[in-house]
Each structure stands twice: as C-alpha cells, then as structure tokens.
Structure 1
Amino acid sequence: MTDQVDGIAHELSSLDFHHPYTPYDVQNQFMQTVYQVLETGNGQVGILESPTGTGKSLSLICASLTWLRNYKATRQEAALQEAGESYKDEPAWIVEQLLSRKRSELLQQWEDREKRLASIRLKEKAQEERGRKRRRVEDVSAVVETIADEDAEWLLDADDHEVSDRDALSGLSKESREILERIGLGGRIYYTSRTHSQLSQFISELRRPAFPPSLPPSVAKASDVSPTEPVKLLPLSSRQKLCINPFVARLGSVQAINDRCAELQQAKSSSKCSFVPKEELLSQTHQFRDSALATIPDIEDLHHLGKSLSICPYYASRVALPGAEIITLPYPLLLQQSAREALGIKLEGNVVIIDEAHNILDAISNVHAAEIQLSDLRRGRQMLGVYVKRFGKKLKGINRVNVGRVGRIIDGLSEWLEGALKFKVCLDEHGIVDPNDLTRHKGIDQMNIYELIQYIQESKLAYKIESYVAHVEAEGDSSNSGPPKAATPVLHTLVSFLIALTNLSSEGRIFYQKVHGAATDVKLTYLLLSPTHAFSSVASSARAVILAGGTMSPFQDYKDQLFPTLEPGKVTSLSCGHVIPPENLCVWTLASSNPASPPFEFSFKQRGNREMMTQLGLAILNVCNIVPDGVVVFFPSYGYLDEIVKVWQQRQGESSQTIWDRLQARKSVFRDSKGESSEDVLRDYSQAILGVRPAGDKRTGALLLSVVGGKMSEGINFSDRLGRCVMVVGLPYPNIASPDWKAKLEYIESTTEARLVKEGRNSGEATAQAKQAARDFYENACMRAVNQSIGRAIRHRGDYAAIILVDRRYGTDRIRGKLPGWIRDGLEKESHERGLGALMGALGAFFRKKSQAGNGP
C-alpha cells in the first residue's frame, strides 16, 4: 500500500499542469491534491484552503483541466484497446486495420470540430478589428404574434393544470438531438461560485493557460495535430440574466419571467416566443453552439450572441452543454435539484468545484429559505379579489376550486399573523412557530398542499394574477405613459413559502418575527437547520466534489454538515501556506495592554467595561503611531463599535484631548456603518492613504473601523498600503439567544446524540459529545468570520502586513487551532503573555526592516 501511495505521489510530482507561470510550491501542492481527488473519483471530496493571493483560481483551472484532458484521452485509448480485444480471434493485420480506421474517424471528428470553432474565432476577431457592432433585435413586432383575445394572457385555460413546462428543445427531432450530442466527448467540470462577478473573474483566468488536446495518445502520436486545444466553456445562468424577449425580460422578477417564458411555450398558447430554438432553424442553433464553445464567453457575451442570432441564449445553451468541458454557474443553479433539471445538468460521473466555499453552508440555507409578511398576504388577498372580480364567472371546475383554496390559505396565514401581532409580538419580537398551529386556521391542514403547489406552478396562476393586476393598476395611472409596471411578486413569495411548508421535517423550523420599522407588520420565516439532505443529491451524484476557498478553516463543519456519513478515507483536506516569505508577516495576540489593566476579553458579559474600552483605544493609538499607511480594525458588531466610539469621544480625567481626537490627529479616521455605502467609505479611505495630503496635514495614512461579517470583511481588497495592519477585536460569536441559533444548536445536539446512541455509545457519553458538537459548530461560525476578516490583508506575494488579534482567548490552543495554517505559522507563540510594550517593539522592528529593504511607503 505504501509503495502504491509513493508511486502516485511520484507521478503527481512529475505531472505538467500547464500553468502559464512558474508555480510556487504551495500552488504545486494545491494542484496535485486537486488532481488526486479527481483521479480517485468514486465520490471523493476535497476541502482545500489556499489563501487569497496564492493564485487559487488559476491552480483550480490548471489542475482540473489537466485531469479532464488526461481522463478523456485515457478513456478513449482504453475504448480503442477494448475494441481491439473484441477481435482477438482475427488476424493481427485485420485488427490493426480496424483500429486504424477507428483512430482516423476519431481524429477526423476532432479536427472537424476544431476547424469549425477556429473558423468562428477568426470571424469574431475580424469583426472586432473592423469595429462591427453586433446586430440588435429591435423589431419587437416579430417577438410575439397578435393576441386574439385581450384576456387570453391572464385567463386560466380549462386544461391548464394538465400542461407541464415543456422542454424548449422538444421541437427538435431525435436525429437532430443525437447530432448535437456527438460534439461532446464525455466528462465535464461544473464550476460554481457565489456571484456572477466572481464567475467572470474565473472566466478571465481561464483564458491564460493552454492545454494539450484530449485525443488518445495513439491518435495524437500518429498524426500531425496542434499541440494545444482551446478550452470549451459554457456559462449558465437564469432566464433573468439571459432572456432576450423584451416583453418577458421587462417583468423584472425571476419568478414572473420563468412563468411567462414557460407559458409562451405551451401548445395552447396564442402567443409564441419567436426566440425559442426550432427544428426548421437548426443551423441557427448550431451557430449559437459553435460560437459559444469557440470564444470562452461570459454571461454578457452569451446574451449578446443570442440577440445577434435571434435565438434564446437560455435554451440554446442546452444545445451547447454536451460539447462543453467547463460549465460555470452561480450557487443557486447548482444547489437546487429543480434548477439543475431545468437546465439539463447531469452531475453523474462529472466533477463539481465549489469556489469561495466558505459560504456554502449559508448558501444552501439561503437557497431553501422562504418568508412571507402579513403585508404581503394582505396585498395578495387584494390582488386575488381584483382577479376574481374580472374572471370569476369564467373560472370552471378545478380552476375555481384551486383559486378558492389559495384564498383560504392567504386568509388562514393572515389570521395567524394578526393574532401573533396582537398577542405574541407584544411579549417577544421573535419566536418559533408550531406548523400545526399555523395550518389549523381556515382548514389549511385539510388541503393537499402538494397538489395545490403543482397546480399553481403548471397553470402559472401566480404570474397570471400578478401580471393582470399590474396591467389594471398601470391603466388606472394616467400619469404613466410607459409600459406596465411589474407587480411585486407576492403570490410567488407565497408559493415559495408553501413549498418550504411541505418540506418541513426535523431539518427545518418556522419563526415569526416583527418587521423592523413597521409597527403593524410581522413575518414568517422558514429556516433550513441542516444542509445535509439538500446537498446530498450533489454529493452522491458527482464523481468528485472540491470545496475550495481562501479561508476554509476550521474544516470540521463541512465534513459534519455536508458529508456526515462519508467514510474518512474519502475526504481530503488541505490548508496551504502562503506564497509570501515568512518575514512579510507579523502575527501577534494581545491579551492586555499592561499587567495593571483588565485583560482584553470582549465577551458578552465583559465587553461593557469602560476601562477595557479605553485601554483598547490607547492600544490602537499606539499601533497607529508605528504602522504606516492603512490600519483596519474589525469589531464584533456595529452596535459595539458605536458603544466604543462613544467612550473614546469622552474626555478622560483632566486630559484636554479625547482618544478619538488623538486618533484623528494621527490618521484620517473612517467608520463602516449600516446606512452608509461601503464603496464611498472605501474610496475616501483609499484616497486618504494614496492621495496627496493638503499642506499642513501631518497625519500619516488612515484608520478604518469596520465590523466582522460586515460590508468590509469579505470581498474587499486591502492590499499593500491599504492594509499594513489588520486588527480583530474580540471573538464575534453569533447571538446565541436568537431563535435561529437556538434552533440550530438544539438540532445539532439532538441529531448528534441520536446518532451516537445508535452507534452504541452510552447515554451519558452521547449527551456530552453532542453538547460539545454544538459548541464546536457555534465556535467554528465565529472563527470562520474572523478568518475571513484576516484574509483581507495579504493579497499577493510581494505584500506584507501585521495581524493583531486582541482578546486573551486568542492565546488558547483551542482558538489558535481554528486559525488558517499560514496564520498559525506566522504567529509569535508566546505573544499573548507579553503585553502592549512587546507588541510595539515587534511592530517597530517589522516595519523598520521593510523600510530598510526598500518596501517602505
């Protein structure tokens, strides 16, 4: 076994990942780990941490695409060998002739595809050079046919409930579908991240490296083919991002666009969308496919391509799917099984890479969350009344019954919320709702909610009611000369909440909560307590799953929450070091300012200590006196930041200057606040550091007071002079008294205990371990937020910064063990015992060395 492991390690160490630059050791380590997880397959999981600035995205690209090309080539070579073995009774020359023909066919197929795509790339380049603009579709009269009956758009069909959302490619013949499938040679990577901007950055990185062709070795060696093959990328997105039908796109909300789009494809629809791919325009579909696969497009490029060809990019993307090697898509499209099915995504045998995966637990909860407000329900009842007044007499059979049921559900939920507003909210602003109490009103518990949801989705009831009411309201507004305004998607919100209601199990809870700023409004919120079941369809289907991020520590929650039943041998975790040299990082923990002062412990009980707040202000002032340029300080919450600033603004004893005055005299001071734009604050902060100061201004750099988990703690780049020092004050534990956190911790405790008892542990031991599991989860959430804030400082190999963790609890092995590896490696081991004086000496020496080395400001 050891020899086998050594052999794999040797093979990986000699592998060429086709990195466009000379990779650092940590990048090689990262790429080798990704490759090994993908190569092993069989449900393997990799949880990988590579600090920001270490080229994580490029390493993911090089490792995964090198594996994919090798995998496809090896698989095709094996198929050729298998074909030869099936003719082993034939003479060798016949077998070789047969294999030679198969190799020629494979090579011809590959060359035909590559020549076609190369031709499109040349055409695109020529168009760009001539400055030719893409043709825009402006003749909206061709978008939809004339509607015979002005009410047809909103009236429910007698058989509407029997019509399901049809496949947009249903107009294509079986032969055409097979032709479209042939371009794909098997195996692909699904890459997902949190936002479209992050996906766009990934696509930009994808244009840097070049990879060898995916041909089997015996074919590539025997022919004179290009040493490289362009990557085939396809970005997927929602209809909201890709729809080119102006009558549909203007509806605004995702739900309304989805419903209207599906309605325009129904067989009985009197208005057809002219952009949906059609059998008679197959060449147009092929052109979209080839253009998309030839050019490494982002979402905006795909949208423009669809407009230039007058073909829907949302549905035409499905045609390009078989030929793509990498498919990018935002979190929700991967994490929802219904969304994957709608897009034609099949994970079986393929690879899933989740980048920025420190967000994945929250992302899964957000995708499956739902809420409804009393004001929404009142608006929904009003809309239903307007619709029934116009179409009530035309509603027959199941339509009449189900419209009535929707009304009863609205009335029942409204009745419960009105009662909560009178009796519950006056006692407590939030709490847990028993779903049985919720559905008892107006006989909701007697309805088949599953059937009603299916009816609403298939009949497009929510869209029809909301669009009709928007039409009526627009016509009644004489001052509005533009197109009808899209109504707030109240009924779609109701449907989402009903879906959550049917999914209720031990994994979910419903809460009531007062709506801030509205004295007469209250809302219901569904919260998914465990992501395990929701993620299982991804984890169980894919060949391998990679969770990658800049700050994944601590790792245990991903294993416990996403893969609790996966055997340990199938999980690989890696925390990479940083690419910066050790002398570019100074990490200290500060437990107190001096032996006579209270220790820094910003726990809920101690954080109101005014003396501690004062000593913190003086410590930050001392840091500002030594650190050049930018200092960023993260606090546990906006509320606590406000409290501390108030103390700093008060005079201490006979001092003529407050701590706040002294800070402002040393550096320009900025505060992150809930109400102010983070872009404005960051712009002013950057200008104070990088810009020219007015004559007489002796301040050096700027101080930014921010919040862990706030707008400045993620996605903001404090590189170089913008972040020469990052301080984290306290441990930002979530509010354990909030209903959602109480429910989460109770769920973890109860499920862990039940699992341990089932495994044969005695009751006392199981209870103790379950309580510890809940504490770990709570603490890990805190440390993930801390680690994310720390990661704002070092952004590239030449960067340098000091990181100061202010709280005596950072001196414990338990907390230190949950810091990223590169932070632990740079941490001054006994710093928590040495006080402010030693810290000032260390900071002074650190920045003097940088200045002497020519790295100073």
Structure 2
Amino acid sequence: MDRIHSALMQKQFVLFEGACGTGKTLSALSPSLHVGKQLGKTVIIATNVHQQMVQFINEARDIKKIRDVKVAVVKGKTTMCPHEADYEECSVKRENTFELMETEREMHLKRQELRSARESYKKSHDQAFVALRDELSKELDALEEKAKGLRDRSCNDLYEVLRSDSETFRDWLFKEVRTPEEVNDHALQNGMCGYELLKRELKHADLLICNYHHVLNSDIFSTVLGWLEKEPQDIIAIFDEAHNIESAARSHSSISLTEHSIEKARAELEANVDLLADDNIHNLFKVFQDVIVETYNARFKFGERERVRKNWYDMRISDPYDRNDIVRARFLRNAKEDFGDKDDIQVLLSEASEIGAKLDEMYREQYKKGLTGVMKRSHIRYVADFLSAYLELSHNPNYYPILNVRRDMNDEIYGRVELFTCIPKNVTEPLFNSLFSGVLMSATLHPFDMVKKTLGITRDTCEIAYGTSFPEEKRLSIAVSIPPLFAKNRDDPHTVELLEQALMDSIENSKGNVIIFFQSSFEAKRFYSKMEPVVDVPMFLDEVGVSSQEVRQDFFEIGESGGKAVLMSYLWGTLSEGIDYRDGRGRTVVIVGVGYPALNDRMNAVESAYDHVFGYGAGWEFAIQVPTIRKIRQAMGRVVRSPEDYGARILLDGRFLTDSKERFGKFAVFDVFPPAERNEFVDVEPEKVKYSLMNFFMDNEGQ
C-alpha cells in the first residue's frame, strides 16, 4: 500500500498482479482515496464483471465504517431510467423539462404582476391598469398554453427531481454506500428518476464505482467528467480484471455499418431532396450497398447460404496478413467514373455528413416541440461518417475489415461491413496519458511489458506482484502426462481413452464439486454426451447461447449442501473467470488441453497487427499465447478462495508438464506461467491421478 501511495503521488501508473486473497481491492482503494483527499482528486474504480462490482460495494462499505468517504455507484442509463428512454430522447425531454420550469417561473411572475395591476386599479381606478391587466392576462394565457404543451413532452420524474431538496437526498445517498437498485427504489417511491438524482450528486463523491464503458467510451467518460465537474487530470482510475481492458477497448473502438442502415439513409435522402443539389450522395451510397450485396452473393460457397442464421456470420473480404480489401477496391473502382478518386469521394462524404448534422438538429427540434412522437436520428450522417473512416482505415494494419451476413425478421439475408480494431491503443493510450494516475490490477496481469505495449502506457509505472498467501498444503496442482490435445489428436482412440479415464478418476476421487473446462464448447458438449450416462452424480453443461445463471446456481447449491456435481464448461465461456466457487461450490477444477481461441480471420488479423507493430513473433505471444495462459490461470483460480478453503487444480495435457520443453519444444506452455505458479506443478501419469487426489483430500478432510 505504501508503494501504491508513493506511485500515485508521483503520477505513475501501478501494474498490480495479486492472487486471490492478497487484498488487491483494499490495497488499491485505500491509498487512492488518501491521495485523492490530499490532492483533491476523484477516484474511479471500474470493472467489466458484475460480481466484482458487488465486491467493490462491500469493500467500500468496510472502508466507510472506519473513515468518512462519499461513494456513488453508477450503472447504465437504460438500467436506471424508469421509462427506459435512450440518451438522445432523454436529453430532449430534459431540455423541455428545464424549459417548463422556466415557463412556470415566468407564469408565477406574471401572476404577481397581474395581482399588482388589479390592486392598483382598485385603488386608483386608472384605466391604464385595465389595459395592463388585459395585456398581462393574454401573456399569462399564452404561457399556460406553452406550459401545457411542454408538460406533455417533458419528463415528470426529472421535474420532481428539480423541485426536490437536493440536500435531503445527498444526506441519504452518502450516509451509506447505496447500490443503483437502492437509489432507484428510493426515487420511485418519491416519483423521481434515480439516474437524474444520482447525477446531481456525483460532484460530491470521493469514489465512483462503475463499469468499464463509463471510462473506455470517450463520449460517456466526457459526460461522467461533466457530472463530476472534473477534468481527466483530476481522476485516479483503478481498473479491476485489467487483463480484460484490451478486449473491452477493442469492442469500443470497432465500428460497423449494415445494409439496412444504408437503405434508411437513401430513403432519408429521397425524403429531403430540397436539401440536395443533386443525387450524388444517394447514388454513392447505392454503389456501396450494391458492392456489399454483390460481394456476399459471389462469395457464398455451395450450401453456405443455407447455413446463415440469426447470428452474424463472418465472410472474408481481406487477407488477415496482406490487407487487400476487395469491398473497398470494388467500391472505389465502381465509383470512380461518376464520383472521382478517393479524395473526391471524401469531399462528397463530408458534405453528406453536414447534411445529416442539419437533419439531426431538425429532428431534435421537431421532437422537442412535440411535432413528432419519436426521436429520430440521421442515418445519412452515420453512413457518411462510417464510409469516410472505412476508406481511410481498412488498409491500416491496426484495423481489419470483415463482411458479416445474417437473416432478418423476414428470413432474408442482409450484410454488414465491420471495421474490427486489432490493437485498441487509439482508445487506451490517450486515456491513460490524460489521467492523473491509475492502478491496473488483476490476478493474471503478467507479463507487465506486454501490458504496457498493447495498451500504450508510456508514462512511468510501478510494478507489483504478489503470489497467493494461502497455505500451500491447501492446494494441489498436477500436470497429467496425456498426449497434447492438438486438433489432429483429439479423436485418437488411445488419447480419448486416457482422457476419459483421467476425467472419471478426477470426478470419483474429488470430495465435492468438480468444474471441467474444455478447449471449446463443442468439446464440452461432446464429452458431456459421452460421460453423462456413466457418471453417478448430477452433471451440468454450460452451452453457448444458453444463460449459465440457472446452471451455475443449481451446481452451487449441490456443493454448498455437501454434495457433489460436475459442471462441464469451456475456457472462453463466462464461467472461467469472475465467478467465486468458494468453499463447497468448487473443490476440483480440471483444465482439458490448452484452449487457444479459434484461430479465425479476426485472431489472425490481430496476430498480424502485433507482428507489424512489435516485430515478427510478437503476434503469437501477444494475441494468442499470453491471453490463453491468462484464461487458464483464471480458470485454475476458481477454487481455493480463502485461507481455510482447499482444492485441486488438474491440467490434462502434456504441454503443461515440467519437462514439456524437452518433450514438445515450441508447443510447451509450462514456461509461460509465472515462476511462483509453475513451481507448484507436479507431473503425474494418467493412472496416478486418483491416488494424488485421494491423498490430497484425505489430508485436508481430516483437518
């Protein structure tokens, strides 16, 4: 904590890896709050895992018991708005509500003037006061009519917030650490909007607990800073589960455009011909849409069209290594005769964007005045801005263009062009450079050099790593000598037999719940079908596209009641991290194989981008190897969650063995684990797994 405090005071970024039980959250929060108090900074702690947000709230409550700290917890607007209105609609209603309040103030003044005119006439019988009274009455009638119209187009929940005593709510809010649900309940009981209530008080908070997107999305972060009445340099940011920042930032910086959006933009242009000098913009959009349709129709192989369903289906339009985008090339070729080269097209797209901006303003005014019941947005502007960015970036090695297709509500196929961000430094680098200081913490943050390179951290850092402090005898980590589960080996009868026996021995000799993580959901389903008929305890399967919450809850209940069940999942699913399998919830975790992500075009493009930026070979390490080992380490960490807890971690693949480098050369992964963790690995032959487990659980059950 002293090192973190010192680093924050020196405006450094702290890279903090700490195993479960090392007290990462408190170790980061306490010094951050102290520095914030000293220097007048606000602390923001963010996560992308719901369970961790609950943990932050509990930690903040513990801190509040010993020191006075004002804490606010923020969730997305749509989850807190009583009417589930989106941001733009809410913004217009907010303007109308403020205008209504101002109109009512004017009405109050007019009534006072009217009373005064009547009183003056009674006293003097001067006809001038009669004329004044009549004029004031007309003005008051007009204001009442205006207020009536505004009332229908404003937000009554916000109206009540603006009329309320903010100090009363502030005292209630900061008396304890309130969850967004508690704020919403309090607001609804008083006919108010919890989101608006909370916004007004954020500037008084010492600590803000929120989701990644409140910080990584530049527009949302700018809005949050406005509520806080702070600049980025006034913020100390703490990112939990920081190994996920890269993928979260990637999703925030990737952009896409659907065929339907282009159709809407063309219809919008046809409806507003008076704003256009000619049909050029409409025709340009049509050229791009035609290229999209022609491309996916031409690229469908035999039977492929029938496989397209409701989920987006990727189609290659650019080699992930050479970046020769055929959609861009066809578009520029087809557009050249009528619209000129790329620079000429960019000028036209800039004009289109300006027209869209004017329409956005017009739509806003129409909604504000009640002329339309729906808040519209300009599709012209969106299409123009996307196409402009696409033409500039699709050949940039940091981006990768992809054509997706899926079926719509009418079962018709339509397309989408996506500009996928490979290295999201354009989001993280400017953010981290603008903050006062920050902490990136995770149980699996190593290697630190890679974190700094991929996120663009160029400022001074303080690097801290703590292994687990739990008793070593409470955990067992074994690497089982099963032939590497490469795709080509997975159906080998001898390998399958060894694997099935090792899994059966792991289940039969574990004293409590067993979680098994396979390399893919397909493998999990395959082994579930094989083993469910022969295993004599309840078995659960975590499937893609099916909510895991009910499965997880049933599995937990069996373990917590002293029983045993088996949960089969996959490494890149939602159950391998961020879930607490404490005590009876999980006694044994089994990792089957080295679960590399599917090496599709997206992953190949990311790998290629890293090679391009950091040198050949960096792509495999940065994009594939290290993220996979982090996932495995996260999965291993699902058991043994406290000093009293105990559990076994079983790695079923020869690539985890301590001598795997000699056996399997470049395919070995043992050396990729941090030294403290790999030092605990014990090599075991498949037939000895049951004895290792029997001895371990016998030693710990008796304590």
TM range, smaller chain: 0.7 to 0.9
Q: Which amino acid aligns with 2:601?
A: P
Which residue pairs with 2:390 in the alignment? 501
Distance 1:265 1:503 in 2: 42
Aligned pair 1:49/2:14, yes or no?
A: no
Mapped contact 1:627–1:725 kept (Cα < 8 A): yes
Distance 1:277 1:682 in 2: 39
Distance 2:362 2:498 in 1: 58
Mapped contact 2:51–2:578 kept (Cα < 8 A): no
Aligned pair 1:426/2:301, yes or no?
A: yes
Mapped contact 1:45–1:571 kept (Cα < 8 A): yes
Distance 1:715 1:533 in 2: 27
Counterpart pick for 1:682 among 549, 552, 569: 552
TM-score (norm 2): 0.75
What displacement does 1:552 show? 2.4
Aligned pair 1:581/2:471, yes or no?
A: yes
Unmatched 5+ stretches in structure 2:
104-145, 305-313, 319-324, 662-667
Which residue pairs with 1:638 in the alignment? 521
Distance 1:65 1:564 in 2: 23
Deviates most, 437-446 or 781-790: 437-446
Distance 1:487 1:530 in 2: 33
What displacement does 1:351 show? 1.0
Structure 1 residues 336 and 671, CA, compared in 2 at 3 Å: closer, same or farther?
closer
Deviations 1:290-340 (A, max 9, x none): 554444333334445666777766566555344321122321121122222
Distance 2:93 2:155 in 1: 14
What displacement does 1:726 show? 0.6
Deviations 1:751-794 (A, max 9, x none): 224xxxxxxxxxxxxxxxx2245444321121122122112112
Which residue pairs with 2:44 in the alignment? 190
What displacement does 1:816 show? 3.0
Counterpart pick for 2:539 among 649, 659, 669: 669
Structure 1 residues 584 and 366, CA, compared in 2 at 3 Å: closer, same or farther?
same
Structure 1 residues 660 and 375, CA, compared in 2 at 3 Å: closer, same or farther?
same
Aligned pair 1:557/2:450, yes or no?
A: yes
Deviates most, 711-720 or 360-369: 711-720
Which residue pairs with 2:216 in the alignment? 335
Q: Which amino acid aligns with 1:818?
A: V
Counterpart pick for 1:65 among 21, 25, 33: 33
Task: Give the 5 Å matches for 1:565-714.
Answer: 565-566=458-459, 570-592=460-482, 600-645=483-528, 649=530, 661-662=533-534, 664-665=535-536, 667-690=537-560, 701-714=564-577
Distance 1:195 1:797 in 2: 24
Counterpart pick for 2:609 among 747, 757, 762: 747
Mapped contact 2:360–2:376 kept (Cα < 8 A): no
Aligned pair 1:206/2:95, yes or no?
A: no
Q: Which amino acid aligns with 1:686?
A: F
What displacement does 1:630 show? 1.1
Deviations 1:709-758 (A, max 9, x none): 1132123332222321111011111222x1211211111111224xxxxx
Q: Which amino acid aligns with 1:741?
A: M
Q: Which amino acid aligns with 1:623?
A: S
Counterpart pick for 1:350 among 235, 241, 256: 235
Deviations 1:62-116 (A, max 9, x none): 23223434x34xxxxxxxxxxxxxxxxxxxxxxxxxxxxxxxxxxxxxxxxxxxx
Mapped contact 1:365–1:531 kept (Cα < 8 A): yes
The 3-state SS of whatever aligns with 1:515 is strand
Deviations 1:584-636 (A, max 9, x none): 010011123xxxxxxx2012332232321121001111222211121111100
Distance 2:297 2:542 in 1: 37
Q: Which amino acid aligns with 1:531?
A: P
Task: Give the 5 Å matches for 1:802-813.
Answer: 802-811=648-657, 812=660
Q: Which amino acid aligns with 2:491?
A: G
Which residue pairs with 2:71 in the alignment? 233
Deviations 1:170-208 (A, max 9, x none): xxxxxxxxxxxxxxxx22212111156643431232111
Mapped contact 1:794–1:800 kept (Cα < 8 A): yes
Deviations 1:6-39 (A, max 9, x none): xxxxxxxxxxxxxxxxxxxxxxxxx334323212
Which residue pairs with 1:416 in the alignment? 291
Structure 1 residues 581 and 415, CA, compared in 2 at 3 Å: closer, same or farther?
same
Counterpart pick for 1:816 among 670, 678, 689: 670
Structure 1 residues 411 and 573, CA, compared in 2 at 3 Å: closer, same or farther?
same
Q: Which amino acid aligns with 2:498?
A: Q
What displacement does 1:672 show? 1.7
Structure 1 residues 59 and 539, CA, compared in 2 at 3 Å: closer, same or farther?
same
Structure 1 residues 294 and 688, CA, compared in 2 at 3 Å: closer, same or farther?
closer
Mapped contact 2:363–2:377 kept (Cα < 8 A): no
TM-score (norm 1): 0.63
Structure 1 residues 288 and 604, CA, compared in 2 at 3 Å: closer, same or farther?
same
Mapped contact 1:632–1:705 kept (Cα < 8 A): yes
What displacement does 1:417 show? 1.8
Deviations 1:791-812 (A, max 9, x none): 2112222111110111111124
Deviates most, 514-523 or 611-620: 514-523
Unmatched 5+ stretches in structure 1:
1-30, 73-185, 212-227, 473-483, 593-599, 650-658, 693-699, 754-769
The 3-state SS of whatever aligns with 1:605 is helix
Structure 1 residues 307 and 774, CA, compared in 2 at 3 Å: closer, same or farther?
same
Mapped contact 2:433–2:457 kept (Cα < 8 A): no
Structure 1 residues 490 and 198, CA, compared in 2 at 3 Å: closer, same or farther?
farther
Distance 1:439 1:316 in 2: 49
Q: How many aligned residue pairs are there?
A: 611
Structure 1 residues 350 and 438, CA, compared in 2 at 3 Å: closer, same or farther?
farther
Distance 1:254 1:610 in 2: 57
Which residue pairs with 1:849 in the alignment? 699
Structure 1 residues 334 and 735, CA, compared in 2 at 3 Å: closer, same or farther?
same
Distance 1:495 1:701 in 2: 58
Mapped contact 1:576–1:821 kept (Cα < 8 A): no
Structure 1 residues 351 and 338, CA, compared in 2 at 3 Å: closer, same or farther?
same
What displacement does 1:422 show? 1.4
Aligned pair 1:777/2:623, yes or no?
A: yes
Structure 1 residues 438 and 575, CA, compared in 2 at 3 Å: closer, same or farther?
farther
Counterpart pick for 2:592 among 729, 735, 760: 729
Q: Which amino acid aligns with 1:559?
A: K
What displacement does 1:275 show? 6.6
Mapped contact 1:284–1:309 kept (Cα < 8 A): no
* CA RMSD in angstroms, aligned pairs only: 4.1
Mapped contact 1:576–1:822 kept (Cα < 8 A): no
Q: Which amino acid aligns with 1:68?
A: G
Mapped contact 1:189–1:352 kept (Cα < 8 A): yes
Counterpart pick for 1:300 among 163, 166, 181: 181
Task: Give the 5 Å matches for 1:210-609.
Answer: 210=64, 229-243=67-81, 246=83, 249=84, 251=85, 253=86, 257=90, 271=150, 273=154, 284-285=165-166, 291-303=172-184, 314=195, 319-343=200-224, 344=226, 345-375=230-260, 377-378=262-263, 380=264, 385=267, 392=272, 396-397=274-275, 407-408=282-283, 411-426=286-301, 430-433=315-318, 434=325, 436-437=328-329, 440=332, 445-449=345-349, 452-453=352-353, 456=356, 459-460=359-360, 497=386, 501=390, 504=393, 505-515=396-406, 520-563=413-456, 565-566=458-459, 570-592=460-482, 600-609=483-492
The 3-state SS of whatever aligns with 1:203 is helix
The 3-state SS of whatever aligns with 2:678 is helix
Q: Which amino acid aligns with 1:846?
A: F
Structure 1 residues 503 and 55, CA, compared in 2 at 3 Å: closer, same or farther?
farther
Structure 1 residues 48 and 842, CA, compared in 2 at 3 Å: closer, same or farther?
same
Structure 1 residues 242 and 776, CA, compared in 2 at 3 Å: closer, same or farther?
closer
